Structure 1
Amino acid sequence: MHLDVVELRNFYYRTGLGRAAQRAIREQVVSYWPDARRQTVAGFGFSVPLLRPFLADARRVIALMPDQQGVMHWPAGMPNVSALCPETRWPVQTGFVDKLLVMHGLETSDAPDALLEECWRALGPGGKAMFIVPNRGGLWSRSDSTPFGYGRPYSLGQLESQLRRARFVPERHAAVLFQPPSHKRHWLRWGPVWEKIGRRLSSGLAGGVLVVEASKQVYAKTGSGTPEAVRRKGGVLEGLRPAPEAKPV
């Protein structure tokens, strides 16, 4: 069951812990994807805290929000790029997306395999997807004071296995949110220090959240019947199918 968009918005934009989580996860996303020029970047779930860095340079940014969650106008003070949609039927043409972010979408989905199939469909050949999920072995999945305490937490092996079954190729991973999931000022003050120490000393699996990047590799048969990776990316289809107009919450 997806969380309500108002609860997600309030956590990420109106609490110190939410802003700290937003900053730590976004830094990891940008370190993996520093450049999205002339690309279409989409997010599913509640991914808007991570999409802002791409607004300046990406060809197009789309924030897809599942109908069970609800939708909000985003970004504030700018033309809306968010859309409400069924979690397994996005208003996006096949192969339209170059980069896809999924946060608060997979672990709360009632049909995770079908959702991953839709992620695969939306990505173009060679496209990249990044999945942000609660870590089964971390503290954040055990606390209901944050959105990461809801839904199904994953171990790294579980997530990578599910992605492979969906024909994705996991490429790299990281863990973030080493600070305790506490709203107390003391812990918030030391949050950046916890993140630095955790990333340097941890095996990469002790953080509260797992970040896994995977790619869509499409293979074509050669004349001899031997599979060969498609080397050139296909043209990205332009335009979106009509979607319900998002209204501010």
Structure 2
Amino acid sequence: MYLDVVHLRAFYDLPLGRLLRSLIGAPIRKMWPDLKGQSLLGIGYAGPFMRPYLGKVDRAIAAMPAPQGAVHWPREREASACTLVDDADLPFPDLSFDRVMLVHALDHCSDPEAVLREAWRVLAPGGRLIAVVPNRSGLWAQSELSPFGYGRPYSGRQLKELMKTCQFNVLDDKVALFMPPSRARFILRGARTWEGIGSRLFPAFGGVLIMEAEKVVFQSLPANGKKSRFRILRPVFIPEGVATGLKPVRAVRDGRKAPLF
């Protein structure tokens, strides 16, 4: 179940929310250092992590699911780039975006496969996607201190299998958020230290998984690039009484003659 958008916005305005936006945003920016001239779609509540790309991408749209609600985004612009959507039926044409970012989406939606298949549909061939979800092995999935403590956590293997099922090829995966879930000032001040130590010594226990995947487009081709010599014939029903020169075909069933069709 999606969290209310008012609560999500309020969280990312808090000192803890701003810190999480920075810690999680760092590996995202390493995966996607430059999106100049590309189109970007955010699904869920991805606005805080799309912000670094504003003014650089050709187009950025924040698609917020109806059960969550929507708010004006980005705040500093008079024209909103946010739209309220059905996450399993996005109101965009096929192949309309180069990149898709999912945050607070796969962990809160009722049908993750449907959301990913819609993301696949609107991505251009070779388009890329980043998904941010709570890590099942991490402490943040067990705490209600942040939005990552609600909804459905994933293991790395589960997320990879989900991507594969929905025709995405995983390119990279990172783990972030190694600091304990706390608002204590001394914990917040040492957040960068926690990230450095945790990523080296306890990489499986980070709070969130960040996975980059590429849209895979399958195309069936004849063997050896040659056209097949065989034709596939479709059966056609010919009613009795039509002058064909042939008698209607009958089959024997239980000792009686019966129509084949």
Give the TM-score of the pair, scaled to structure 2.
0.83
Query: Where in structure 1 are there 5+ consecutive unaligned residues?
Result: 227-249
Q: What aligned pairs does 1:192-203 form with structure 2 within 5 A after superposition? A: 192-202=192-202
- Larger RCO, structure (CA 8 Å, separation 6 or more): 1
**Equivalent runs, 1:1-249 vs 2, <5 Å:** 1-13=1-13, 15-78=14-77, 79-202=79-202, 204-224=203-223
Q: Residues 5 and 71 of structure 1 are in contact (CA less than 8 Å); yes or no, is this contact kept in structure 2?
A: yes
Q: Secondary structure of 1:89's partner? A: coil
Deviation at 1:38, TM superposition (A): 1.2
Residue 247 of structure 1 is matched in structure 2 by none
Q: Are 1:17 and 1:181, in contact at CA under 8 Å, matched by a contact in 2?
A: no
Post-superposition CA distance 1:129-155 (Å, at most 9, x none)? 011000000000000111000111000
User: Which 10-residue stretch deviates more, 133-142 or 50-59?
Assistant: 50-59
Q: Deviations over 1:49-78 (max 9, x none)?
A: 110111121110010000000001011121
Query: Structure 1 CA distance, aligned partners of 2:224 and 2:5?
Result: 49
Amino acid across the alignment from 1:20: L
Give structure 2 stretches of 5+ with no counterpart.
226-261
Q: Secondary structure at the match of 1:205?
A: helix
Distance (Å, rounded) in 2 between the aligned partners of 1:209 and 1:152: 12
1:140–1:148 contact (8 Å) kept in structure 2:
yes
**Structure 1 residue ranges, 4+ long, deviating more than 6 angstroms after superposition:** none
Q: Say which SS state the counterpart of residue 40 (structure 2) adopts.
A: strand
Following superposition, the deviation at residue 225 of structure 1 comes to 6.5
- Mapped to 2, the partners of 1:181 and 1:225 lie a distance apart of 57
| Corresponding letter in the other structure for 1:98 | D
Letter in 2 for 1:81: A
* TM superposition shift of 1:224: 3.5
Contact 2:176 2:207 in 1 (8 A): yes
How many Å apart are 1:181 and its aligned residue?
Answer: 1.2
Write the distance in 2 (CA, Å) between the matches of 1:155 and 1:222.
36
Tell me, in whole angstroms, the C-alpha distance in 1 between the residues paired with 2:11 and 2:224.
53
Q: CA RMSD in A?
A: 1.2
- Give deviations 1:62-97, integer Å, cap 9, x for gaps: 100000000010111212111111111112111111
CA positional deviation for 1:104: 0.3
Q: Quick one: which amino acid aligns to residue 119 of structure 2? A: C
Asked if 2 retains the 8 angstrom alpha-carbon contact of 1:64 and 1:83, the reply is yes
Query: What's the offset of the Cα at 1:221?
Result: 3.4
- Letter of the structure 2 residue corresponding to residue 167 of structure 1: Q
The answer for the alignment partner of 1:233 in structure 2 is none
In structure 2, C-alpha distance between the alignment counterparts of 1:16 and 1:141, rounded to whole Å: 19
Aligned sequence identity (%): 40
What CA distance in whole angstroms lies between the structure 1 residues aligned with 2:224 and 2:23?
46
Alignment partners' CA distance in 2, 1:138 and 1:225: 49
Structure showing greater Rg:
2
Which secondary structure state, in structure 2, belongs to the residue aligned with residue 7 of structure 1? helix
Say which SS state the counterpart of residue 187 (structure 1) adopts: helix
Q: In 2, distance between residues paired with 1:61 and 1:196?
A: 32
Is the 1:101–1:130 Cα contact (8 Å) retained in structure 2?
Answer: yes
Hey, what's the Cα distance between the residues in 2 that align with 1:30 and 1:121?
24
Q: What TM-score, normalized by structure 1, do the two folds share?
A: 0.87
Shift in CA distance, 225/121, structure 1 to aligned 2, threshold 3 Å = farther
